[in-house]
Amino acid sequence: MKVVAYLLLVVVLSTLVLAVGEMPTYGCFNPTHNYVYDRYVRHGVEETGALNVVAQIIVDYRAYDTLIETTVLFAAIVSVMLTLKSGSH
């Protein structure tokens, strides 16, 4: 059992080290982030119709992500409330 745990640990650690090695250097030009920021700021009002930049990002550009995050938070709150209520009997 320990061998499996150590093997899994080595696989996870090597994957993380390889992922960190592929990251861009801090402070260097990263076209992905610059393109997204530029797109949101310059074309956000035309594409979404929202005047608030935060609202246009949350509601239009990242709607599915926000919906899933909200669902997870709701499920967590319901779980905590049910757990606390079941302990009061």
- Cβ count near 44 (within 10 Å): 19
Give me the pLDDT at residue 63, please.
Answer: 84
Q: What is the mean pLDDT of residues 56-80?
A: 89
Q: Is residue 52 within 8 Å of 39, Cβ to Cβ?
A: no
What pLDDT digit, counting tens, does each position of 17-54 carry? 999 988 878 877 776 667 777 888 888 888 888 888 88
Domain boundaries, the chain: 2-86
Q: How far apart are CA 81 and CA 35, in angstroms?
A: 42
Compute the 3-state secondary structure of the chain and give helix, strand, coil in percent, each to the nearest 5: 80, 0, 20
The whole-number pLDDT of residue 15 equals 96
| DSSP reduced 3-state for 50 | coil
- Closest-CA residue to 78 (of 86, 66, 67, 68): 86
